Amino acid sequence: MKLATAALDALGNDVGVPSYDRTAVTPGIVHFGVGGFHRAHQAMYLDRLMSDGKALDWGIVGVGVLPQDRRMDDVLSAQDHLYTLVIKHPDGTLEPRVIGSIVGYLFAPDDPNAVLARMVDPATRIVSLTITEGGYHVNQVTGELDASDPSLAADLEPGATPGSAFGFIVEALARRRAAGVPPFTVMSCDNIPGNGHVARKMLSSFARLKDADIAEFLETEVKFPNCMVDRITPVTTDADREALAERFGVEDGWPVVCEPFTQWVLEDDFGLGRPSYEDVGVQIVEDVEPYELMKLRLLNASHQALCYLGYLAGYRYAHEVSQDKLFVDFLLGYMDDEGTPTLPPVPGVDLDRYKHQLIERFANPEVRDTLARLCAESSDRIPKWLLPVVREQLVADREIKRSVLVVASWARYAEGTDEQGGAIEVVDRLRDKLVERAQHNREDPLVFISDPDLFGDLASDERFVTQYRAALKSLHEIGARATLEAL
């Protein structure tokens, strides 16, 4: 049965469906970047609230600004903006639920004015983002805005109609201000340390290039809560679509699959109110930083620690790597001796339990998270999640050998061929530059880390360089598996 409002009553009891009247849900949130994660996380929390009769004035209108987002528009419009979230338990049980909290979707290139109108509407009180790390245009070394992206340049032309998420946010805030409508809150839900602070800094730097007044307004009047978000959400496959249709009779053009675990730690810093997220398990805290650092330096950095080495060793899925004792010992060693010493105390969290739970989550064989997903866009990930650990460990004269090996495994992976000579598809917005450098790894072993835009001055740190040279040499000579054994 094709998923649509009219089909909900006919679905079996094993598929959860919205119990609330969706026609009574009104928009309160505009979300940029409706991909897998937003639909497994924020939209799911709102659906839970709506099921309890709450937050009915916080419906989500999704916005896509990239050409590839047209497909999401097509799929969601054909399904009354419903979609199925399928939780994959480690024992093979699937738990599907149709989510109803997204009530509209706007494909910005078709009608940018409709996006602005929705954002300027006083009912829009939160604009949330999962636009990936790259969507914030941060120079990895200076931490300042890199405005060279063509989409930003186009939005800076006088009188331009916005095309980028940044362009829409700044223009909508300017129009609200001119119309006397108070500003919405900007809530970043991306995996970035200090995501709210970064969103504020990058957006105000961008606004400053347009209009100093609006930049000032953004800096002083707009709220940007920080948050930590967590739920492993792999890319949906055709097999996922087929399993949903065959086992549950739901024909969904783009369901989302995810692990059972979910976490959201959020600062209570909203200008125009927020849904009562705490009623459905969201942790509201004063300072999110310890939780964020824990998650990014243990979970996300471990993803980096397992993906390149795992791929080079012949694995293709995260669970395969995470069921191999050699890799598990490596990951726990990284977490215990390198990641953890850089963390402040994390209130209410037993870190030892957290780390072992991470290994269990990675090892869930049903989630089938691909190493390819984890290996993509490394230039936005390693500098944000792993290099800060390296730098802090160096300053404190503590262990770095596993982090160094992870950096070397990225350099080896970027050469574009695996240990069997097969081609690797390197997916990164800096792909050409990375591959070009990595291809000289053998004759010039420091070439990859000599890029100051990614590594700053690490290539002049003697301790780092000595260990990096040895790690890269070992990967070339004996391969990933034997290198781990020798570690």
Ligand X SMILES: NC(=O)c1ccc[n+]([C@@H]2O[C@H](COP(=O)([O-])OP(=O)(O)OC[C@H]3O[C@@H](n4cnc5c(N)ncnc54)[C@H](O)[C@@H]3O)[C@@H](O)[C@H]2O)c1
The SS3 call for residue 162 is coil
Nearer to ligand X, 37 or 468 (CB): 37
Beta bridge partners of 83: 99
Q: Are strands 83-88 and 94-99 parallel, antiparallel or unpaired?
A: antiparallel
Nearer to ligand X, 18 or 64 (CB): 64
Nearer to ligand 44H, 8 or 375 (CB): 375
Locate all alpha helices (DSSP H) within 88-237, ordered by sequence: 112-120, 150-156, 165-179, 195-210, 212-221
Nearer to ligand X, 34 or 87 (CB): 34
Structure tokens at 119: 């954002």
The nearest distance, CB 485 to ligand X, in angstroms, is: 30
Residues 205-215 as b or e (16 or more Cβ within 10 Å = b): bbbbebeeebb
Q: Which option in ligand X, ligand 44H, none does residue 32 bind, with CB closer than 5 to 8 A by kind?
A: ligand X
| Site residues for ligand X per CB under 6 A | 32-38, 64-66, 69, 130-135, 165, 190-191, 229-233
The SS3 call for residue 472 is helix
The beta-strand segments (E) located in 44-115 are: 59-64, 83-88, 94-99, 102-107
Handedness of CA 198, 203, 206, 211 (dihedral sign): negative
Query: In the bound complex, which residue of the shown chain has the CB atom lying closest to ligand X?
Result: 35
Q: How many residues bind ligand 44H (CB under 6 A)?
A: 10
Q: Which option in ligand X, ligand 44H, none does residue 303 bind, with CB closer than 5 to 8 A by kind?
A: ligand 44H
Q: Which option in ligand 44H, ligand X, none does residue 36 bind, with CB closer than 5 to 8 A by kind?
A: ligand X
Does 384 engage in binding with ligand 44H (CB under 6 A)? Answer: no
Q: Which option in ligand X, ligand 44H, none does residue 140 bind, with CB closer than 5 to 8 A by kind?
A: none
DSSP secondary structure of 299-352: IIHHHHHHHHHHHHTT--BHHHHHT-HHHHHHHHHHIIIIIGGGPPP-TT--HH
Nearer to ligand X, 69 or 252 (CB): 69
First to last CA, the chain: 54
The nearest distance, CB 287 to ligand 44H, in angstroms, is: 20
The nearest distance, CB 429 to ligand 44H, in angstroms, is: 12
The nearest distance, CB 233 to ligand 44H, in angstroms, is: 7
Nearer to ligand X, 115 or 232 (CB): 232
CB-based contact 255:221 (threshold 8 Å):
no
The nearest distance, CB 369 to ligand 44H, in angstroms, is: 7
Amino acid 198 reads V
Q: Footprint of ligand 44H on residues 222-241 (CB under 6 A)?
A: 230-232
Chain-centre distance of CA 317, in angstroms? 18
Q: Footprint of ligand 44H on residues 150-209 (CB under 6 A)?
A: 191
Q: Footprint of ligand 44H on residues 283-322 (CB under 6 A)?
A: 299-300, 303
Does 274 engage in binding with ligand 44H (CB under 6 A)? Answer: no
The site for ligand 44H (CB under 6 A) is made up of 133, 191, 230-232, 299-300, 303, 374, 377
